[in-house]
Structure 1
Amino acid sequence: MQTWHQKDYQQDTIPGISLDKWYSLNKKKPKSKSIIVAVIDTQIDLNHEDLQGQIWTNPNEIPNNGIDDDKNGYIDDINGWSFTGTKSGGYVVWNRYEYVRIVKDWESLFKNKTESQIGTQDLYKYKEYQRALKTLEEKDKYYQNWLKSLKHSVAIYPLVKDTLKHFFPKEDYTYEQLDSMYKKYKINDKRYRQRRDDNDKDLGALIDYMMGNLEVNEKTLEDIKDKEIQLDSVVNKNLNLNYNERLSIGDNPTILEKGYGNNKVSNTIKGVRTIQDHNTMVSGIIAANRNNSKGIKGIAQNVKVMPLNISPSGDEHDKDITMAIRYAVDNGAKIINMSFGKEFTMHKEWVYEAFKYAEKHNVLLVHSAGNDSQSVDENPSYPSDISYDGSKEMCNNFINVGSITHKLSSTFVSDFTNYGKQNVDLFAPGDKIYTTGAGNIYKTESGTSLAAPMVSGTAALIWSYYPNLTATEVKQIILDSGTAYDLEVLVPGIKDKKVPFSELSKSGKVLNVYNAMQMAEKVSKHKK
């Protein structure tokens, strides 16, 4: 099932995107045109064996001479650009969440003010500030408590291990064995089923502690310490009003400009410990080499990935999103994959203008719908081609993609995916997808981040054979040619609620490469 997403429902009884079917019936197709796909994301593993020959190279730039040879505003941008690159040659690992930045930057305008004190022109920002403030308070409390619990776990772990070793000398206990043991000791004491007190070290509490660790797959002290380090960074960086992630970059995030950041798009930079592999996973789905007999096969062979880095842990800056889109357009990308998202935006007008800029230059934007198990018709999610004020879509070159599983049942729609009859365009496989990973590995992951590149790869395949099509036409072909499934599915995030699958997206369909290529051929011929 590693390649389930490439299968065909009629041939294989698996609801994939019918990629294998198209390739098996089109072995003698004439040579296609090379297409550049910009992947706006994290750093990428440029050395991955399955991406060799698949990475974009700037033909007008002389490597490492310290000169902006092509005068595009970026020095030595050989393979793309890191908009989160630091002056020292590294890259930013932690960003604040956007709601934290909103509270920090807009506090002087709105703190302790009521709605009646706010002018009409600032009312939207005021309401967003209040929403951001509430979110920050809730998240900060949640993560502070979690971090406190982890610190307690680190402190008590040796005692738990020593105590359980008395009962299990080989330390080969399972969750079920511990559960049975727990019930034996505490069967009539319900208080032990509640959150344990920090000073509660009796046998029942210690057993309960280890059961909790096994439940979340934290089996060793190192597992717990790693999680503690991660949570400490969330609390002290992601959620810290006074943390400034732009200091090491040296730019001003409130103005649009070219040239900040650096050209280090790879995650194999010497001295940088944190390895980000999201871009590598996404790029492999689109463009992993189909002819090298290694690893996986990407959707489109004749494609070049342009890695553009904007995504540390936390929320992307609107400035970086905007400048990355403009860079991609100006440097020849036909498709821009954006497998990221956030629930707040400070400078949405910058991003909207970048969308329109892409549309003007016939560039397709593909975006992952998000993994919050909610309707994006009702809950703001950015970047988006709508402004959540009731206005119509601002451009016709944006595709928002949700995720499906391989199970043609009530669980067909991934339980994590966002959805929306108005604002999710279609679905594609995003559950248990086998793809490339940083460090020259292969891995299985899930998320709408993996569904979006299915669409980006398909668009690249379409354009590589039918270059006379417009971005709007390619979008419509992808939506119209999808596979419709007549079944009731569980609505993500709503217990036991079922609706027809067709009600969760605009098209009501699942991406189908074979159908899309057939339709593209017809539309292309009709234009000639």
Structure 2
Amino acid sequence: MNKNRIFNVLLTGAFVIALPLFANAQKPNWQNFDLKTDSTFGISTERAYKELLKGKKSTKVIVAVNDGGVEATHEDLKRIMWVNTKEIAGNGKDDDKNGYVDDVHGWNFIGGPKESVNFETLELTRLVRRDQARFANTTDATVAEKDKQDWEAFKTRRADLEKKLGEAKQGLAGIAGFKNALDAVVKKIGKENPTAEDFKNFKPANEPESRIQSVMSEQLQKGSFADFYEDQIKEGVDYYTRQAEYNLNLDYDPRSIVGDNPNDSKEKFYGNNDVTGPDAMHGSHVAGIIAADRTNKLGIMGVADNVAIMGVRCTPNGDERDKDVANSIRYAVDNGAKVINMSFGKAYSWDKAIVNDAMKYAASKDVLIVQAAGNENQDIDTENNFPNHKDLDEKTIASWITVGASGPKDDETLKASFSNFGKTQVDVFAPGVRIHSTVPGSKYKDLDGTSMASPVVAGLAGLIRSYYPKLSAAQVKEIIVKSVTKVNHNVSYKKGEEENAESVSVPFSDLCISGGIVNAYEALKMAATYGRSSNAK
């Protein structure tokens, strides 16, 4: 799964570590602001409610969050969770005969009889493990002619895995060293939550302490020590630990928890009804962006005001499996979802065909899929990012939107530094920087990523389908793409993740099909008159 990581290299004596940038906070709800009235490049949702939707009736629409789990009891989500009224909660029976027992709020395709999968390997790791067994005694000299292409692919993947694992171990060692040095300095300062001024006044005894002083004095100009430590130090350690011990570990395989045959892509009835799972941070944040309760005067306000969130758990802390993705799409479609948000992606695919078939199925049932473009700052016209529609029919593509992430300022920084892009593969951009939304424990948090931009668009799609229910999925996509606020200036980004990577300036129109940022106000204006000849509302 693509996580929301923005890396900055900090040099601290012997330590060279990669940490997320400690970005300046944005105003909560900025993604719904209007560029002209608020000087913030949101999607004009609040203006649309005030000027276009006031007094209008709407129909409830189900939006599926196919993700890592949604906290159904969250104070800002509990009222808007989908409830399967055909199912009697907790009776251990499949009352609606859909093949899933007690699926009251959705389904968990990475759960088993006793627990659920939390950490998983990357698809890359699984492919290398599979082919390592196949080519156990093979060399360049002995490989059969018919296997040469697969053998070369295996060697490339194995080298990629070894490189990534080495980087993860180096990153873990670096950030652990930084943490230890920082902890020692904080102990000397004698305050639990020191300020930038405390670090400036600290008298370092050696070069590492001087570097800690320099780094922290700068970082704490932008936020508190507690937030920095939690969001960057602890999360950084956890991130590299997950990579080294789980994601890139050939010996790690948690699938026995589920109890299915992971190689049988046709198997559909497995999992459990726990839509929260062991880590609902990502999915809960996504759900809140789409539809957090706009009426309860708590927390935040989602984009859509009359949708029900269906939780479909298919993505662990690692890469999702194609089998689970396909089944999660089919489950959402068969149980009434009209929009599916998929804030995930990966560089390799085990069984792209099974996901393609599920995408085609969704399109045939008039369901719109909204997908995050990914966070590697890559051109996905040329770089692999799965799922993708590079080999799909036009009807399916017409019911599928891919979303890049934008920032709040209408200047050269508009493209989020991490966001993938693609003139033929990415449809639109939407706010995805420091988005404030719901997280477990009835709490709220700022997160970055195309994972946050995608639900902004899914929320807009749900909003349109709610107020104009006669519009088809393809029409809703067309409206969203046609009604963007065009960006007529260049944006800058670095070509690569290295600190000294070349910075380039390109027309924003080169980054996506529409050449703009989604606009709820303009989309709803267009929807009001769209397709009247075909009896659209």
Q: TM-score normalised by the shorter chain: which range applies?
A: 0.7 to 0.9
Say what the alpha-carbon RMSD is for the aligned residues: 3.1
**1:243 counterpart residue number:** 252
Structure-2-length-normalised TM-score: 0.84
The AA in structure 2 aligned to 1:342 is K
Cα deviation digits, residues 250-291 of structure 1 (max 9, x gap): 111111322321101125xxxxxx543111111111111112
Cα deviation digits, residues 203-241 of structure 1 (max 9, x gap): 334544676788887987999677556544432222111
Tell me whether 1:518 sits opposite 2:522 in the alignment. Answer: no
Give unmatched runs, 5+ long, in structure 2.
Answer: 1-26, 220-224, 497-501
**1:451 counterpart residue number:** 453
* Aligned residue among 122, 132, 140 for 1:107: 132
SS at match of 2:166: helix
Tell me whether 1:324 sits opposite 2:350 in the alignment. Answer: no
SS at match of 1:53: helix
Post-superposition offset of 1:493: 3.5
**1:81 counterpart residue number:** 107
Structure-1-length-normalised TM-score: 0.85
Give unmatched runs, 5+ long, in structure 1.
Answer: 183-201, 268-273
Distance verdict in 2 for CA 1:502–1:131, change over 3 Å: same
Cα deviation digits, residues 64-89 of structure 1 (max 9, x gap): 1111111111111111011111321x
Q: Which deviates more, 250-259 or 170-179?
A: 170-179
Distance verdict in 2 for CA 1:417–1:151, change over 3 Å: closer
SS at match of 2:429: strand
* Aligned residue among 462, 469, 472 for 2:464: 462
SS at match of 1:442: strand
When Rg is computed on C-alpha atoms for both structures, the one with the higher figure is 1
Work out whether residues 402 and 425 of structure 2, in 8 Å CA contact, stay in contact via their aligned partners in 1. yes
Post-superposition offset of 1:486: 1.0
* Aligned residue among 85, 92, 106 for 2:117: 92
Post-superposition offset of 1:52: 2.6
Distance verdict in 2 for CA 1:242–1:298, change over 3 Å: same
**2:438 counterpart residue number:** 436
Distance verdict in 2 for CA 1:447–1:335, change over 3 Å: same
Counterparts of 1:509 and 1:436, CA distance in 2: 27
Post-superposition offset of 1:517: 1.3
**2:37 counterpart residue number:** 11
Counterparts of 1:282 and 1:404, CA distance in 2: 16
**1:290 counterpart residue number:** 294
Post-superposition offset of 1:60: 1.5
Cα deviation digits, residues 94-119 of structure 1 (max 9, x gap): 00011100100122334645499566
The equivalences for 1:154-193 within 5 A come to 165=188
Distance verdict in 2 for CA 1:315–1:292, change over 3 Å: same
* Aligned residue among 67, 78, 86 for 1:60: 86
SS at match of 1:491: strand
Counterparts of 1:136 and 1:179, CA distance in 2: 44
Work out whether residues 93 and 102 of structure 2, in 8 Å CA contact, stay in contact via their aligned partners in 1. yes
The AA in structure 1 aligned to 2:379 is S
Distance verdict in 2 for CA 1:159–1:423, change over 3 Å: closer
Counterparts of 1:157 and 1:433, CA distance in 2: 28
Distance verdict in 2 for CA 1:66–1:220, change over 3 Å: closer
**2:20 counterpart residue number:** none
**2:3 counterpart residue number:** none
Percent pairwise identity: 37
The AA in structure 1 aligned to 2:513 is K
Post-superposition offset of 1:245: 1.3
Post-superposition offset of 1:61: 1.2
Tell me whether 1:483 sits opposite 2:485 in the alignment. Answer: yes
Tell me whether 1:342 sits opposite 2:346 in the alignment. Answer: yes
**2:507 counterpart residue number:** 500
**1:43 counterpart residue number:** 69
Post-superposition offset of 1:132: 2.1
**2:172 counterpart residue number:** 147
The AA in structure 2 aligned to 1:501 is F
Counterparts of 1:504 and 1:258, CA distance in 2: 37
